[in-house]
Structure formats: structure tokens, C-alpha cells
Structure 1
Amino acid sequence: METREMEISDSSNGTTGSITDRIRGDIQASLRSHFDVFLNFRGPDTRLNFTDCLYHSMDAAGIRVFRDDEEIRKGEAIGGELERAIKSCTICVPIFSKNYASSAWCLRELASMVDCSRNRDGEGTILPVFFDVGPRDVKLETGLYHEALQKHEQKFGCEVVRRWKEALREAARIKGWNLKDGGQGELIRLIVAEVLIKLNKREKILPDHLVGIQDRVEDVVRLLDEGSPDVFYLVMHGMGGIGKTTLAKVVFNQISSRFHGCSFLSDVREALKGGKVIQLQKQLLAETLNFKPIEISDSDAGISQIKRRFRDKKVLIILDDLDKWDQLSKLAKNRDWFGRGSRIIITTRDTNFLPLEEEYRENNAQMQFQEFKIYQMEELHHAHARQLFNKHAFRMDSPPNEYDDVSRDIIYKTGGLPLALEVIGSSLYCKGKQFWKDTLKKLDLVPKQDVCDKLKISFEMLDDAQREIFLDIACHFIGEERVYPYYIWKALDFFPRSDISVLAHMSLIKVDDDDRLLMHDLLRDLGREIIRREDLKVPGKRSRLWCPKIALDVLHTRKGTENVIALKLTGLCKEHDFTSEEFSKLPNLRFLELEGGNLAGDFENLLSSLRWFSWHRCPSDLQAINLCLSNLVILKLLDSDIPENWNGWGPCLANPDLKVIQVIRCHLSAAPDFSTCMNLKILVFDQHCPKSPQMGSSISKLERLKRLEILAAQVQSSKLSTSPHFDPW
């Protein structure tokens, strides 16, 4: 199931026909998507066996494959769809068989693939497969292809065939796979793994500046002892910000292709705290098996699937940031769940939850302590710490002479912690020497072991709006696509474009390739601790409540205050209805996330400051009366059954400056009337219905619409593409 995403530029004519035509044209354009892999093969030789299995294995792994059957092609020239497919593909896979050279179409495609690879300076990769021939046959060093090529010369001429011969020789010089080296199943697994790496679908993104990492990688690889058939766990242990996750990513990128399957589960502790165990189990199964997500009803069913499907597979699994045995037990509890040679790497700040030697003797834990190997992460050596700091503070390996002393003192105060070196160094970039000296004085006041207070120095460099944005991200927007909170901050008269840039340049946040906001967990903890310290005893006096249980208690006991601006009420044990009296204590609420339940009572003049409203499993009949979200900017409805004339549309669409409507995994037969929100920028319908919702004529009047995404359950093609991220600025 893929997303139909249309980029719609601003228009001034406002006619129904022009908008409709643009939408129709964009849908057609999306169907002409590019492909990841082009398969080149002679149909009668491999179409019904090897090529078919390879195609379906790649498709199951989420790789978009163009499979051309030369038997159905007519004519003598490559052009049109076929040429575009070859040019669009990142990887071309020619499958050489005994009768390959008898096909003029195969040879034409191969020559075109080689030309594309040359013209794109290696960006187009050729990965040859030698099915029932060897590289020497394809290099024309044996007589296997000679007779076929001679026949082609008589028909097409010497010059054309000369080009084909050069393409054969060039492709055969590339390191590929030979079926003689193993069975078809194993060969297909290796090809899919290599293609995924080439496409960077599994390779983890690393920081720009990696310093002092190679020695650590070698130590870890040595401990992993890849030659051993045993299954065991390697635990990377160290304080927050010391580089455990970065090291795990480097190791993963280096060795993942040597396993039958691999998966990197990030931030497991936080995910499970948010009740996402089934989501993690699905991700683990899908990534490791190179398969589309498997339906799992509950965590026990997920455990059964993992045990059954991984028992005979050599897998590499990274579990990033664990701190409880229960977290491990739901994903990789026992080594007999996995095939011989499997490795499970765990990163953690605390090893007390693991059944190591002393605990094993005392409690007879199920897992023997010998199964765990511990790699203790240490602070960076001074030379590496100095290099990393200088790269962020000066954008070079060594400081200017006049900064040598003060930079050395600041490096010493950070204690060789990579995160602190990066954040503090980035915060000092392009600042004057007096600013550096003031920062050093502040570091002198912080105990050496108190990392958060050191990082807080960089937070205190921010202006008020930048602090608000940092705290919003830390409490609510980690993993969120940047454009959505951008509209909230814009509505609050912040300057999010420049402020996000400042936070990123100070290494306080990151924006990934999917345009999502990320933050190191230590910086997230810093932000949340700042909020907690707003009032240590009374949560209702804090500005942001991200813990659902605390938020629920504040709401039900009516201890909320005007200080509260953000409230998260998801993942609770049971659904709750919320009354107008409870929300009357929260006049400045601007972020609200609900799951289930209903709103009941008279909401006149309440929630008037709300900018972001997200509701999982919203009610089909809204009980609130006089509700009017007159300043709403973002509306998200998820996992809901929304009737055609839902009485929630009126209150939710009251603001003419509403910017985003997202309807995700909902049953919706008809879209609402959009005539009240003519400044809408993003409209998303990701449906579970068998058909797309009926749009109505009002959509044609949304002249400011920048993005329209429509996905119905019947859209199954893997040939649909997504457009690039659009810039809201």
C-alpha cells in the first residue's frame, strides 16, 4: 500500500476545473514513478524460477523492481518506458544464463545499463548474477556466446554488436554472484541484503564527525566473534551521551550484510514506555525477514512469531537503550529463539537488569550469564575529545592560537563525553572569546558528573522563543515531521525557520532525511527535567504534561492551572470522558492529544487557545456542545470511525487559518466541507476504507493547498512514488 501524494502549487485563478485537472495530472504523474532495481534476463531461461523468486523477495523487502520480459518486446530499439525505467533505476541486475546472448533485447538493455552507469559517474550500480555461466563466459573468453553474437552481426551489423560485446565484458568484470557458489535461496538472500544496503534502506545514518570510533569498532567486532556458531548477547554499557548508539550504528552498517536478516530498533525504552511493544515486534519481524509488516494481535503473539520465524535464521539485532528485563523479554529473551551464529547487541546505561553472574547464582535467572558479553564504553581520549570539540567549535581540527588555552580548559570540563563536546562546541561556534570565558566559568560551577547541567548551559544561551521550541520538541514532537509543529510556532508569532536552524547548529536537535525532528535522549531528558523543575510538587503548575497518568490526574482532580500549555492523554489503561469543568482550569492549553473517550458538557469559550488537536479513536458522536476551536492550526484524527455527517467537523474546522488536516487509518465515507478553512496547506486521507472518500466540490476551492495525500485500501501498487518534502516557507 503506497501513498498518492500530490504537490499543488499556489494558484490564483480559483476555478474548479484547473484544480481538478491538476490533481488528476499529479495522480497520473505519481504512477510514472521511478524504480529501485531493473532486472535484465532472458525469459525462457529464468523467468519462471530464479528471476521470479528474486523479484518477489525484493518486492517483499519494499524494493521497487522493474521486471522486463524480453519475450514480449517487439522492435529493435530501446525507448519510451523501458529506457526511462533503466535510467531511473539505482541498481541494474543482469542475470546471465547460457542462452542470454541469443536475445538481442537482453543485449540492448545491458548496453543501455552500462552507458547509464558510465554517464552517472557510478551512481547507477550494476550487480551481475551468473546463473548457469561463469564470468569468463560473459567476458567472451570461451566460445559459449560466440555463435549467437555472429548471428546478431549478420542482422544488426558489426558496430552494434561491438557495443554489445563491450557491455558484456564490462559487466562481467564487476564482482557479482555465481549460482555455483551456493543454493538459489541463499544467493537471493545475499542479493536482497546487498541491494538494501546499496539503497541505504538499512544503513544507519551517522553523524558528520566521527572521531575515535575505529578502535571501538574493532574491539566490538572482536568480541562478536563472528566465526563462532554460538548465539550470544553483546551489551554496550556506558553513561548517556557517551556514544553507544553511534557505535552500534557503525557496527551495524559494517557487518549486517553477513547475516540472514538484521534489524536496528532505536530507543526501545521510550517506545515501550509509550506502549509500542507490538509496533517494535512488527518492525523487528519485517526488517529481519525482508517482509511486509506481519499482523500481530498482542505482544504474546509477537513473541511466538519471533521464536518461530527466527529459530533457524542467523540474525543481527540491535536493541538500542534498554533498562528493564521486561523490555528484552518481549523482543529477544532467550538465545534458543535464534539460529546459530546470531548476535543480539544491546545498548544500555544500566546493566543491573541483566542476569549476570552474581544475579544468576542468587535468582536462578532463565538466561545464563555466559551468554552476555559486556563492552564498557569509556570517555574519549583527550586527543580525540579535542578533535571532536574543535570540529564543532571551529569547523576545523585545531583551534586558532588565541583560543588554544580556553578551548583546552572547556574540553577538560566536559569530561570527554561526545554529546557534551558536540553541544557545547556547537554553541560556541562564531562566538567571541569573552563569551567562551563566561561559558568556562559556568562549567566550573557544575559538578563533573552532572552532564545535564553542563548541557543546560547551551539551553540557557537560547532566547525565549527558541527555548519554547526546544521544550516543545523534547516533550511532544520528537519524531514528528518538522512542518506540522512549524505551523503552530508560526501561529504563536515565533520564527521557526530561523529558530530551528539555530537549534540544529547548536546540536540541540537534528532534522533527519525524512524531515523529522530528532533529539538525543539526554537532551530530551534535560528538556523534561527543566519542565519538572518548574514545580517539583504540583504537576498542574508545570507547562507541559507528557506523562498520560500525571496529565489524567491533573485533569480529573481539577488541579490544572493557566501554566499548562500541553497535555497528552494517550495510552491509558481505560478510556475516559472529559468534561468542560475539567478543561476550564486550562485556559492556555495549545496542545492536546486524546485517545478514546469523549468530550462532554458546555465548552463555550473553552479550548480557545488550542493550536494542535490529535485524537486517536475519536467518538462517532461528539457529546460536547458549543465547542469551537477557533485558533486550531493542526487537526489529526487517527484510528477512528467517522460517519458521513460527523458533528465534530464544525467545531474542528471553525478556524479559517487551519493549516493541516490529517485523517489516518480511519473509516471515512465522505470528506467534510472545506469552505470554512480556505487557507489549508496540507490535506491527508490515509484510509482503511475500500474506496477513497468522496471529496465534494469544496476541495477545488483550496487554492493555497500545497500537499494532498490520498490513500485508500484498494491502492496496492508498489509503483507509486512520493514527492519530495515541500518547503512551507
Structure 2
Amino acid sequence: MAFQGASSFSSSSSLSPSPHRWTYDVFLSFRGEDTRKSFTAHLHDALCRKNINTYIDDKLPRGEKISPALLKAIENSRISIVILSKNYASSPWCLDELKKIIDCKISKQQKILPVFYDVSPTEVRYQRTNFGKALAKLKGRFENETEVQKWKEALKKVADLAGFTLGDKTEPEFIQEIVREVSKVVKPKYLNDVAKHPVGMESRVHDIHDILLRVGVNDIRILGIYGIGGVGKTNLAKEIYNSFTDQFECCCFLANVRETSKKEYGLIQLQETLLCEILGDFSLKVRNDNEGMGLIKRMLWSKRVLLVLDDLDQSVKVDEKLLGGCGWFGLGSIIIITTRDEHLLASYNVHLRYKVKELNHDEALRLFCWNAFQNENPNHDFVELTEDVLRYAGGLPRALIVLGSSLHDKDIHYWKSALEKYKKIPEKSIQEILRISYDDLDECEKNIFLDIACFFIGEQEEYVTKVLDGCGFFPNCGIQRLIGKSLLTIDGFRRLGMHDLLKNMGREIVRQESPEEPEKRSRLWFHEDVRSVLGQAKGINKIQGILIELPKQDLINLSSKAFSKMKRLRIFINRNAHFSRGPNYLSNELRVLDWSGYPSHSLPQNFKGKKLKVLRMDESLIKELGDGLKNFHNLETLKFSKCQFLTKIHDVSGLQSLKKLDIEYCNDLVEIHQSIGYLDKLIKLSIKNCLSLTSFPRSLKLRSLQTLFLCHCKRLQKFPEIESEMKCLAYVDLQGTAIEELPSSIGNLTGLEYLKLSECHKLRHIPTSILELQRLYYLYLDVSSNKRQYPLPTIAELLSSPPPMKSSISNDGHYSSKVFPKLEDLVLGKRPLSELDYVLLTACYSTLKTLDLSGSNFIILPKQIKRFVGLCTLLLRNCKELEAILELPPNIEEVDVSGCMSLESFPEVSNKFEFNRSSFRELCSINLSGCHKMLVNPLLFEENVEDQDADYELLFPGNKIPD
């Protein structure tokens, strides 16, 4: 059969048909005395060797009337082969069979294949020679001529069908021709054990057909279907298989490959099944896997096959033993692999891939309801409980089917009890399905999975990797392995995610370590277990991690010896518990100490913290770390937030691995030690809202630093000197500080892209070295003071002491393109502007895309604005003295003059809007809200203008059309 093109795909995109469940593939109708021991016997044997289920009536007793058993066999056969031999019409039995066969063709759309064995179709059609004589005799025997007439009509109808004639062929050739035609109809068979309720399947089948269309139909196409256990990969593969079976003569669905391959002689069994299914010879035997490889290569190399290998993992060497790199099959073949492990597809160079996602809410609801209520919608009293089940199952089809079936016909009390149980102890059959992927992991990968399931879901990948690396679990490859096996996900913000059922499975694995005694488990997270262990000092050396997340903030009466036996504790995270006292001991194996509300002024003296990676103290009573900081050689993250007793950060020179330092809302913090300015690996330095901070390092030499926040430290007056070039620092935010000037060494920040100086009310001097920041693309210079306590320097004044560099000014008096060559966003609100300001601004006229002059005091927008040819957005909010905007930049897209209460002249808006409203809407968005003098501009609105309300809302959002 020639493979059909794209149209075949589109026509096959619906779900596989639901064929009649035939008992037999073929029913043989024949005259026994003519062919029973010769042609019919040979044909029957050939069909059976092709595994075609064939009915032959050689064991039924003969009589004048056809038996009910035979009639039933005819009804339940997909094809009837009618062997029309010379004496066929002499048997009323055969003629009744034929009449029934013709009836079933009409009523059940069965297929009839007539075989003209030593007779011609013409003899049968017109009842000549032997057929005519036989019918004449029957007419004499039966008084009912109507019956004989029906036989004649049946013979004519079967003779009119396309059939087989012996002709010059040998009998074996003749039989093989018949078998091939039968195989096209019944081989391969549709897989009947597909999803009972194929909810969401049709769209997924369509998606896969689209993927297969991307490759030429005459190429060998290999598709990998992967996803979490229980998500429906096998059912989807069966639907795809069924949708293509009519386009392939050679088809095979190898189910449970992983499980079968692990049995003794399992691989040989798979090879044998593959050969027998495709060749149709079920007598074929394979003695060893090498022989199987040779047979597959030799016997299938030119065949165009449809092959599904279901449920593969890394332990199955299918590439060598079953596929031969797919070079053993003919062009146009389609090979589909289902697996939980995406990395396996990469190892087989499978480029066409489809990840099966969980069902969405509506799909999940339908599938669950079909199993729980035998309907698409929940019963009235079970609506809320159904939503609880959906949240628990998380769109996983297998879970929805299992839960729905287990809750079917149960009362509401049973539902509530079962759901409470599932939340604590996962349903066993679901657990078994999901655990297959976990059991295939090595010990490090299992530890990574359990740590994430118990402690780190929703955390940043970078942070978790840092912690797990400190534990010696090799997370850089381990996390990728979990993702590949669909046990873990990472979203666009690089946060780790896990299906709730997988999380529950991981936690159940830990619970099973000691179901009755939580202190003997490796990890604790359930608040009742944690409270018991810490309050009663039950903790032992088994515990490696503790997460405290109470249903609501509450007090834990911490035993003085609570941590004394937890020598292996690696992770301690407290989210919301208050403690009656601080710990007397902490394990030196700790990698994470994240203790919100730490109840003591200092850490235990015996705590060395040499393996500590993360130290977070939010809302704690910590006063100082003192000499402890000298021991934390591996610490990478240090955070203090709302620590009311913290007044000083001491010498941190020992923290040579520190990458992130966050201090925020520590209102009594006064001093930060000079050593912070020399931490070589520091990437982020963030000091926010520390209102008492006055002492900060005098200089910085941080070659790895990328971001620096010093915002809203209202008493901080000096910005440090930059000792040497800092290429990595891209982001500096000084908003809300009391800094009076920037040092000339700011030019050493050669990688700076973002500089925010808003609300720096005391800032009076910006050195000309700022012009050396060639990579700056965002500059925020809103430095005004509402109280007007300090003089408000213009841009020209800020940059003219010493005077602007002459080398940067061109012959026409404008700055050259060397000044801020990449600047795109500039904010200059609430400050006076001079002519020289605009000279400076036009230095970046071609690159600037956004200009914010909100709150400025000019009366007429200067005409130099038209020189900004690259400007798209102009913000002039609350420029209360602005009366006229005479010109706009040529490529402007958005102008916001909301709150400009004095504005009354805006000719460009009036003209454009009056003459070409539709074009104006497309080209420019203008907000005139609060511009009261523009509201009644007669040029903008006329009485008969269509869509007047829409036009008005476009320009004056939130205002009503004036009367």
C-alpha cells in the first residue's frame, strides 16, 4: 500500500474508531465435499499462521437447516470468505449461509471476499452450468419458490463483488493473494483497550499529527512521547497507533517494554513479538538476542512499519537490540517511543518530541465525573468535594480514574473520610505508578528528590542547587535527571515545581521509614510531628531536615535538649513558629539555617557553621554574629530582615564564599564593616530601608558585584569610592538616600546599565565622569525635594562642574554620540530645565525611547523635543504650568499629559485627530485625563462625529463628555 500524504493525517486526526467487537476476523463459507480437505484446509492454515482469527464449521453437525451457532458466527465475523466451488449451490446449507452473509453486509457493514474456485463469476451471476442445474433440483425439492429466488439473488450479489479467481496462478500463490487482502482489513488490529473515556485525547492526537507532518512522509519518523507517570502516555500512543493502522501493512505495538525487558529472556520475547507481529508468522522462534538482532535486520530492513515501543527507560537497550538506530526499517516508517525520561529520547537522537501535559480543570472534571458519577457533571451534593479531589489529583488522568472509581456510589461521609486519608497517606495504586520513576534513581538523585519534595518546592533553582551541592548530592546533573524523568519542573522564573501527587509520594516514602515514630525519619515537615519532636526532645541522629510550617502562627515550647542528638541535621527552616527559647546546640552539618523569629541574641557557642551555605534571620532577636562570621567559610547567602536588635555588621573578611548579602528593615543598624567592600565573590549587595545606617564602606573593590541596592537608607550621606574598574556591576539603586554627591570614580563602573537617583533630595553634584558610562541605558535623575530645602540643580549644573568635556561637543554645539550611546530610558521629573539641558539631552536623541519629564515646571514644551527621532514615549504627567505643546517627535507612539491642568494648546493632537481619527488611534496613544482646559476644545469634537464616546474615552480616560 502506498503511503498517503498530508491529507491522510488530517483525516486521521480524530480519535480511533470504535470498531465492532468482532469475535472472528474471518468466516469461511464453503462446500465441504468440494474443498474441505484441500483448498479450504490450506487457506485456513495460512490465515491462522498470520494470526488471523478464522471460523471454520468443520465440527458442526450438518442438516437441512443452518444452525443458530453458525448464524451467530457469521454475525460476529468481520469478513466472510465465500469459496464458490462447482457444487456450492447444491447445498441449501451453503446458500442459507450466503443469504445470511449478504444480510450482514448490509446491516453490519461486513466485508465479503468471494473466491471463484474453478468457476467463473459469470456462472455464478447468471446461474449457468452447475449452478443452474443445482438450483433447478432445489426448486423441485422445495415448494417455497420464494426461498429459491432469494438464493438466486444472493448468488448474483456475491458474483457482482470484486473477488479472487484462480486463473494461471498456482494454488499457494492464490492462497497468499487472499491472505494479503484479508491482512489489509484485519491486520494490524485496532487496539481495543484504549481509554474508556478519552477526555482531552482528541486535541493531543491532533497535536502529534501536526508534529509528524513536519517531516517528509517518505522519511523514517521517530516520535518520543514523554511525561510523568499516570499522565496518559500509553493511551495516547494507542490512539495514535489506531489512527495510522489503515495506512500500514506492518504494525506492532510493543507494550510494557521496560517491565518485559527485565524478565529472564525478556528481550528475546520482545524481539520475537516484533518479528511475529510484523511478519504475521507466529511460529517463528528466536533463540538468543543476537539471533533476534540478525533476524530483525534481515527480515524487516525494507518494510515500512508502524511501531510503538511503550514504556522505555535507560535499562532497555532498544537502540541496539530492537531498532538498530532505526536503520533496520524501510522509508516511511513511523516509530513511537513512550517514556518518563526525556533524556532517553536525547540519547536515541529523537528530535520529534511531545510532552503529555496534565488535563486542564474542565477536562479533569469531566474525566473524574465519568468515573465517579457515570456523568459529565458532579451530583449536586458533591460539587465542593469534587473540587477537592481535582486539587488533589492535579489533572493526572490515572489518579482521576482511580479516585473516581474508588468513590463511585459512596456516600458523602465516605468521601470526606477518604479525602482526609489521601492527604496523609496517598492512595496505594497511584503511589505504585508514580514510584516507578523514583525507584530508577541513584542514591544522590533520590536524596535530591526527597529534599525538594519535603523542603524546596517553589524555591529558586540556583538556591536549591547551592544547598544540595553543599550536601554532596551533585545537583547540577541530578536536577536535570529529575526533570528528564518528569519528576520535577522549572518555570520561567527558574522556580522548582513538582506535581502534588509526586510531592505526596516523596513525603510518603519518608513517612514509611518509620510510620509510628517520626523521630526515626530522615525528614520532618508535618507540623504535629515537628511539634512533638522539638517539644519533647525526641530528635535523634536519623533526622537530616526539618521544615516548620504551622497552620497558623503559634508557639513551640522548645526543649533545651531538642537539637542535642540531631548530629546529622543538614536543613532547618522555620516559616512561622515562635519559640519559647533559643537552642543550646546546633549541628555543624547544617547547610541551611533559615530561622524566622530566631529567639536569641546569638547563635550557640558550639556552632562552627563551617558547612553552612545559607543563613537567613528574618524578624529575629539576633544582635550580632561576632566572631562566628569568621568560621562560615562556605556561606554564600546571608540575610537579615526586620532584626530590631541588630546594630552592627562586624568584620566579614572570613566570608570569602559570600555571594548574596541582603539586609532590609533593620532600623537600628548603624554600621556596616569596611570588609564588605572587599568580598571577591559577592554578586548582590542589598541594603534597603535601614533608616539609621550612617556608616558604610568608604570604598568598594568588588569585581563580581552585579547589583547594588542602597535605597531608602535616609541617613546615608556618602557613596563609596570605586577603587578599580568594576565591569560586572550593572544595576545601582540609590533611591531615597541622603547622598550629596557621586564620586568622580563612578566612571570605573564601566558595565553600569541602570542608575536610579530618584528622591535623592540632597544630591548637588554629579561628576562629568558619569558621561564615561557607555553602557548606561536607564538613568533616573528625579532629585527634587517637595519641601524645597535644597537648591535644585539643572542637568547643566549637575554636569558642568567642572565644565562639560569639550571633546564631547560637536561643531554645532551639540554633544557627540559618545555621550550615553545606549541610553534608552531617561527620567528627569520635578526639576528645572535650561537650554543647556536640552543640548545635553540631544546627545542621545537617536537612542532615547522613553523620556519622563513629569512634574517639570516649563510652560511650553521646548521645540528641541522634535530632534528626538527615536523617542516613542513622552511622559509629562502633572506638569501643572505647561500651557502648550507645539511639536512632537516624529516617531512618537505615546504621550501622557494627564494632570496638566493648564494645557490648552496642543495643535498636533487637534489636527491629527480631526482629520484622521482611525490613523491617529493606531499611531499614537495620548492621555489627556485631568487636562481641564482641553476638555472643551471645539476642534476635537463635533456633534455628528460617529463613535464620539469612544473617541472621547481614547483621549480623556475617566472623564465624561462636557455638556
- TM-score after normalising by structure 2: 0.36
Structure showing greater Rg:
2
User: Which structure carries more relative contact order (alpha carbon 8 Å, separation 6+)?
Assistant: 1
- TM-score after normalising by structure 1: 0.47
